[in-house]
Chain A
Amino acid sequence: MIRLQKKAWSSLITITICSLICLVCFSFMVARNSKGADYLLICLVVGLPTGIAAMFQELRFQNQLDEREKMLYQNANQWSIGVLTGYLLVFCFSVFFLVGGGGQAPVWLFPGMLFSGLFIAQTTQSTIILFQCRREQDDA
């Protein structure tokens, strides 16, 4: 298994675990009808170091890749951005079609849309990397 495949699998597992934790925390906050800066602070305390650590890890990983691997990685990134854009478009317009311009939608829908969109984007990226690697192995 090449390092790009390993990275894709580890990303897929990490994002699944993180999403499940987020889902549980978020459901709990929605159920309690939590609001205010305190909860935002919790998100920052938990999310910011994780995000920064992930960003540095990502940069370090990209430096290890050769030019073909970078190309495969960029292809996967483009796909994930495309899918994320499509998902957000469909989501936003679905809400508009369902409740109308002057209608009301629950507030949890927006962070829910963001989290699910990020999950879908990351899953797409990993899937495309694995697909490209598999195709190359079949050709070899």
Chain B
Amino acid sequence: MIISPERKDFSTIFHIVGRLCLGLSMFMLLPLFCALAFEEYEPFYDFLIGFLSTASLGFVFMLIFPFKKEIGWQHSFFIVSLGWLVASVMGAIPLCLSGHWSSFLDAWFEAMSGFATTGLILVKDLDHLSFSHNLWRHLTMFIGGQGIILASISILSKVRNGSLGLYIGEGRQEKIFPNIIATARFIWKVSFIYLTLGVTLFTLLLSYKGLRISKAIIHSFCLFFASFDTGGFAPQSQNIAYYHSFSLEIATMVFMFLGAMNFNLHFWLWYKEKREIFRNFEIRTFIFSLLSLTILLFFSLKPLTRSVIFRKGFYQLVSAHTGCGFTNLSPGEILSLTPLSLVLLILAMGIGGGVCSTTGGIKLLRLGFVFKAMVGEIKRVIMPHKAVYRDSFHHLRDTLIEERHLKETFVMVGFYFLAYLLGGVIGLFYGYTPLASFFESVSATANVGLSLGVTSPEMPLGLKITYICQMWMGRLEFISIFASLSYIASLFKK
């Protein structure tokens, strides 16, 4: 039985979305001040319009829809799904006004790509885009990486009662503290500490390359947001290849790894047990998966020298596996890699990083469960008939693998595979090659951002909408969206 919503329920949902809009408008003040600081007057007006329209929408929602009911689970999923859509639409306003996107749909695509930490781009002439617009593109990844709703619930008092539903609705399975507000604040704390470290390191490296200090700082913020939040946008059209710096590539790899790590694991390593890093099931799965893929990649690119394989192959593999999408190759260069290496990249993208991190994809914990289930099934067959086989895993603590773990895992893996497949088939329908179609589909759903050149301003409108949906669904891990859809469907069954 599905609980059918009433008028009061919708009033509460839209009221919270209104508050979310107010929160988002505050974030727009950052690029607005950046535009003033760098004397970019037209972008200043773009952000002023963006800020005022988002805040106005927030006020309108709050006035028309009063807060009438405490937030329950059914509201949470709807708030999350709708909140992400509204945020991406409002976030697209300043981008569209800049004239660097062909249409509002393209700007919306870019904003969704940013919030979902994907990194697929439709911007035209990125090298002549203003600092403030570039900062906003990258800031969307930071806001989205933390979770748009999570970012808001840590500052909005009325949302606290239903915060657990909102937190889980954004695709996070684990709490760090019993209290969600404390969890949200810890995630902010971790992010700000790494932000300080990252920006300092990147500024030093970029200054050494000869960038003037103000530009080096802006680029450093952008690079940090894109690497730690596993987004993959870059301030220049050549992405990371623009800097021609091996040390910068290594530094981005470090932050990609940190971003792909479970926030719970960060907490454990900081405050509890340092040795957890060696025992953790997700980390072990990651090492196993990365090592296997690296060996295969090495053989697939064998004619190249080891150092070229490291720079051209391994960097893309790490970027794909951590869901970042940074690349030091052009789409044409990625396409010129061997078919096997492209398949390996698709696999890495499809798997993704840790749960409760900023990455998308199936996630390491689930991949580990799938392997454990397969091994367990084989053992069960060869063991005596009456023997009972129980397996466990160590993720922060020793836990027995139960039926519900496996059920959840296979449902989620099924959703991801369906989405990967559906996007790929739609790509094929538009006449793209199978490899390019599935590469792009997995990249969009797993929120990675690597591209073989399918994603461009000229791609068909239907495919743009498909990728927007894939990025949105992949980031929220399907459940929130399907729950919201059934919530709406129940209205018609009355």
Are A and B physically bound partners? no
